[in-house]
Amino acid sequence: MKKKSILIMFHCEENTGYAMETLEKVFFNAAIKAGISEENIYWSFKSKNTNGDPHILACNYFDADTYEVARKTIIENEIELVLAFDLGFPCPLIQVLKDSGVKHLIAYWGASMSSINSGLKLELKKLEYYLTKNKPDEFIFESEAMRRTATHGRGVKFSATNVINLGVDTSKFYPNYGRGNYANNVLNIPTTRKIVFYSGHMEERKGVRVIVNAALHLIDELNFKNIHFVICGNKNSEANAYEKLLENNEARDHVTFAGYRSDLPDLMRSSHVGVIASTGWDSFTMSSIEMMSSGLPMIVSNLQGLSETIKDGVNGFLLPPGNHVALADRIIEITTNTLLASQFSEASRKRAEMLFSRETQIDKLSKLFSE
């Protein structure tokens, strides 16, 4: 019987970090569950730092000089299934993969594929998709909004797409809502303050400015002081612009920029509200389902895939993008209404367990690999 093998390809360097490392584990476990033995799982990266392991190779999607090692690996190991992260079309690598014996090429997208098009432009994109001979056989997206950027942005057939949401480790991110002071203790925050939590990138579109303006509005304008904002993810000087907004304001003592940390689960479950106030495209964030799994009531911007993570009025609120006053109002509503906060907390955990668990994500991928 022919052995089942898979090549899992990434467009980035080996050991890129947190998000990619998590997906590597998910892809590996899905392959194992699909009946592929560990010795038949191969990996490729744009560049590698592991030497001497024939299961790890370097292949740059758009550098033909790196294709040969992938071609040889596929032929020598009779690999018929390839999962390629963020592989679009046209791409010269696709023909090499298929000519080498790949029977099914799955492109897993962790980002939006295109802006949304309509009219003649969309029809031309559909024609381009139809006429492109070498393209992935199937596209996986992490949200419906991301799938739409393919079907209504690049003309990809709906039947060639699939949505598999990100999954959270529910055994690592679990609730302890309102019954712990870990964040207060390690970050020197008075226990009389309820914590509003954010974790993620710090670029402008992620809405950190909106969160800081909400802090200024609550503390300096409304005199609502039993609140503290913990913002994680800043590195180097990324927080400087937001620190400047807080200068000479009382809110400065109510905002902590905590940087990159390994204790995020502990910080989340000792917080009271999770916030993602993005103002630009946001597809489907891991931090949002980590907060939900930790039992946090959520406030997220009503944007694309981000709005798919919560259910408005059930485990949190959808926020008009960029509206710091609305964010402040929702924070007051949750932190002053104990019953509502408890209901949202319980609903967040249930939603994470039912829809966004790591086990569900792995199970759906493994079925796809098996088919």
Residues 219, 296: one domain? yes
Q: Cis (ω within 30 of 0) for the bond into 54?
A: no
Residues 364, 329: one domain? no
Residues 152, 283: one domain? no
Q: Please give the backbone phi and psi of residue 311, each rounded to the nearest 5 degrees, phi first.
A: -115, 115
Give me the pLDDT at residue 1, please: 55
Residues near 17 by beta carbon (within 8 Å), at least 6 away in sequence: none
Residues 162, 213: one domain? no
- Asked, for residue 308, whether it belongs to a domain, the answer is yes
Q: Tell me which H or E stretch contains 216.
A: helix 208-216
Question: Please, which pLDDT band fits residue 348 given cuts at 50, 70 and 90?
Answer: very high
**Position 179 pLDDT exceeds 80:** no
Residues 241, 252: one domain? yes
Residues 49-60 pLDDT 10s = 888 899 999 999
Q: What is the mean pLDDT of the chain?
A: 94
More confident residue, 285 or 83: 83
Residues near 337 by beta carbon (within 8 Å), at least 6 away in sequence: none
Nearest to 195 by CA among 273, 97, 309: 273
- Here the tokens at position 201 are 């990138």
Residues 152, 226: one domain? no
Residues 64-102 pLDDT 10s = 999 999 999 999 999 999 999 999 999 999 999 999 999
Give me the pLDDT at residue 3, please: 80
- Here the tokens at position 166 are 């990100």
- Here the tokens at position 334 are 């949750």
Residues 366, 333: one domain? no
Residues 160, 211: one domain? no
Centroid of chain to Cα 73: 30
How much of the chain exceeds pLDDT 90, in percent? 86
Residues 328, 225: one domain? yes
Give me the pLDDT at residue 275, please: 98
Identify the CATH number of the domain in which residue 46 sits. Answer: 3.40.50.2000
More confident residue, 20 or 344: 344
Give me the pLDDT at residue 178, please: 64
Average of per-residue pLDDT across 362-367? 97
Give me the pLDDT at residue 105, please: 97
Angle at which helix 338-355 crosses helix 324-336, to 10 degrees, equals: 100
Residue 188 structural domain? 182-355
- Asked, for residue 172, whether it belongs to a domain, the answer is no
Cα separations in angstroms, 198 against 97, 195, 209, 298, 319: 41, 10, 12, 10, 15
Give me the pLDDT at residue 302, please: 95
Give me the pLDDT at residue 298, please: 98
**Position 2 pLDDT exceeds 80:** no
- Asked, for residue 338, whether it belongs to a domain, the answer is yes
Residues 47, 74: one domain? yes
**Position 250 pLDDT exceeds 80:** yes
Give me the pLDDT at residue 371, please: 83
Average of per-residue pLDDT across 236-265? 94
Residues 192, 140: one domain? no
Question: Please, which pLDDT band fits residue 336 given cuts at 50, 70 and 90?
Answer: very high
Give me the pLDDT at residue 18, please: 64
Total structural domains within the chain:
2
Residues near 220 by beta carbon (within 8 Å), at least 6 away in sequence: 249, 250, 251
Residues 189-232 pLDDT 10s = 999 999 999 999 888 999 999 999 999 999 999 999 999 999 99
Average of per-residue pLDDT across 295-315? 94
DSSP state letter for 138 = E
Residues 65, 203: one domain? no
- Asked, for residue 280, whether it belongs to a domain, the answer is yes
- Asked, for residue 100, whether it belongs to a domain, the answer is yes
Instruction: Give the total residue count for the chain.
Output: 371
**Position 258 pLDDT exceeds 80:** yes
- Asked, for residue 177, whether it belongs to a domain, the answer is no
- Asked, for residue 1, whether it belongs to a domain, the answer is no
- Asked, for residue 121, whether it belongs to a domain, the answer is yes
